[in-house]
Structure 1
Amino acid sequence: MASITLKDLVKAYGDTEVLHHIDGQIEDGEFVVIVGPSGCGKSTLLRMVAGLETVTGGEIHIGDRVVNELEPADRDIAMVFQNYALYPHMSVRENMAYGLKIRKISKDEINRRVEEAADILEIRPYLERKPRQLSGGQRQRVAMGRAIVRDPQVFLFDEPLSNLDAKLRVQMRLEIRKLQQKLGVTSIYVTHDQVEAMTLGDRLMVLNGGYVEQFGTPIELYDRPETMFVAGFIGSPAMNFLPAEVANGVTTLSNGAQLGVAQGQGNVVLGVRPEHLEPQEDGAIEVQVQLMEQLGANTLLHGALKGTDTEMVVSLPGHVTAAPGTEMKFGAAPENMHFFAPDTQKRIE
C-alpha cells in the first residue's frame, strides 16, 4: 500500500486553468472522497492521479515516487469507472483476468486471484456469464473484481454508482466501504453526491471551481464548515443562510428579530441547519410555512423568514402538520449557529 501526496497541483488547458494549486496528503490505507458539483474538477484530479491527464504544474507522489511522468500502467493503481468498461464478448472470468494476462502472470496465479476476488464479491456463480447476462449491480462487482485482482497500491473510483438505482446505490456503497476496510488499500473516490461522500469517506476533499474549499473528516465539515459553499453543500437539506447584522454582541436578522448569539461585527450571514431548528414559544427565528413534506421519520417545512423573502427549510422529527400560512417560532443552540462574512463567504470564528 502507499500514501498519496498532492503538491501545488495545477491543471490547465491552454490559458484556462481548471485546477488551482491543489495540496493534500492521503495516508496509507485511507479512504478519501473528492466531492463537489459537476464541472468542479474532481474527475480531472482523479485522472491526473491515474496518469490519464497530464500535470501542468506541481507534483503527485504515490508512496515515495513522483509519478508525474509515469504511464498509468507503471503507477500500480487500479481504476473503477462509471460505465463499468467491461468487454462484452468476454466472460466475467475473462474480464477479470485480462489485465493479469497482459502482464504475463501465470495461469494458476490468475485463477487463484480471480476466484479469490469472486468469493469476496460473491460473484463466483457468474464467472462464466457474459456482462449482458448480469444486472447493473453485478456488473459493478465485476468491475471492482477486475481492480482487486491487480492487487494495486491505490484504488481510484470515478463515480462508480451513478448508473445504479437508489436502493442498489445504498447497498453497493456499503459493500465498497466494507471491501476497502477489508483490503486496506489507499482509495480515492469521486462523487457529486454529498450523502455518498459523508457515508463513505474517512476524509472529504470538497472542490469548487477547481479550488479546495475544505479537506477534513465528514463530521468536521458538518460541524465546522470553513466556507458558505461547504456549509451549503454538506448536509441534506442544505443549511439555511440568513442575512444579519452584528453589533454589541447581538445579532439582528433582516426582519428585526434579535438573537443573543453573535460572531464578528457588522454585516454577517447566519447559517443554521434545518435539523438544528427547534420549536420554541419565544423563538426569535419566525418562519411562515408555505409547503410541508411528510417523509415518515421526519417532516420538512418549507417557507420564508417572516416579513422577508429569505427562504428557509426546517426539519422536524416525526409527523408534524402545518397548513400553508402557519407562522412558527424556532430557536437553535449557540453551537449550532454558524457565522460567515458575506464578502469572503468564509467562517467567522
Structure 2
Amino acid sequence: MENMWGILGIAVSLVFGVVGIILTIKSKYSGKITFINLQTIELFDAIGSSLEKLAVTYDGTNVSENLVLLNGAFINSGRTDISGEMVEKPLTLKLPEGYKWLTGNVVESEANARLSIVDDTSMELSTGLFRCNEYLKFHALAQLPVEDGEKSSSRRFRDALSFDHRISNTKPVEVAVFQPQEKIRENLKRVIVSALVPLMVIIGFVASDFILGKPNEIIFSYNTGPDTVEQTRVTPTRNTTVKLESLTGDFRQEVPFGEFVSNLSGAPVLMSRKWDLTEIILVSLVSLFILYSVFGAVVEFVKNRRLLRILESKDRTQSTRQGMPLGRFFSTFRKLFLPD
C-alpha cells in the first residue's frame, strides 16, 4: 500500500507541476486573437483551367495562375476587450517577398473593422472596440509567385502567411485548425478509446501487484571474499553467465554459472519483492503521458467547439465573456458519446 501511495504521489506531483507551468505561461497575457482559415480557393485552378478559351481577369488584367482567395476570420478569444488605446501597431497580415496582396475586404464584423493594404506584402486590420468572443470575417485576394514544386498554391499561401501586431497585453496571433464538429468529436473518441486500453492494462498490472503481491524472488548467499558473504539477487543472461547484485551493498558482478555455484554459501531463501523507485517512476510517467494526451484532446475539442459556436452564433445578446460554464462543459462531454 505504501508503494501505491508513492506512485500516486509522484503522478499527482507531476500533473500539478505541468499544469502549474502551463497556467503560469498562459496567464502572462490575458489578450489573445485567434485566426481561422475557413477556406483557401485557388481561383484559376477552380475557375479557369477547365476551359481553354475562358480567361480570368482582375481589375482589367488577365490572371494566368497562382491567384488565391482567402476566406478567414479573427476571434477575440482572450479574457480582455481590445480597445484602440491598446494598439501601438495594428494586426498585420504579412506575405514574403514575391507575393502580392491584391485586395481585402471585411464581410462581417462586430468591431467596425476594415482591411487596408500597406504595401504588396502587408495588409493591416483596424478595428474599433474588439470585445471578448466577438469575431470578424474577411476575404483577401493574393497573387503568388510562379514556382516549380509539388505544393499547391493554396498550401504555399498557407505556409507563407504570417501575422504581426503590437497590442498591449496580447499574445501573438494563434492559428487554429478549423474542423467540422463531427470530425473533432470522432478524433476525441478515438484518442479516449486508444488511451483506455493501455491505461486499463497499467491499472490491472498495478492492482494485481498490490492485491496479490509481487512474486517472491530467490536470494542467494554468495561468497565475495574469504570472509565476506553478500545476499545477492541473481539474473540469468543469454549466455552461460549470471548477473549478481547485492541487496545491501554496491557489489555487482557478472560471473560464469559454474563459478557462481561453487561460491554459494548456504541454502537460498525466498524474499518478498517490493516496488523499486525505477518502476514507480516508469509507471507514473506512462500514466501521466496517457492522461496528458487525453487532456490535450479534450481541451482541443472544447476550444474548437467554442470557436465554432462563436462563428455560428445568431444571438449575440447572450454573454459568453466568462468562457464555457461548468454545466456546458459536462453537457459537451456527455454529448460526445451520446450525440443527438
Question: What range is the shorter-chain TM-score in?
Answer: under 0.3
Relative to total residues, which structure has the larger helix share, 1 or 2? Answer: 2
- TM-score of the superposed pair, with normalisation by structure 2: 0.22
What TM-score do the two structures reach when normalised by structure 1?
A: 0.21
Q: Which has the higher contact order (CA 8 A, sep 6+)?
A: 2
Q: Which has the larger radius of gyration?
A: 2
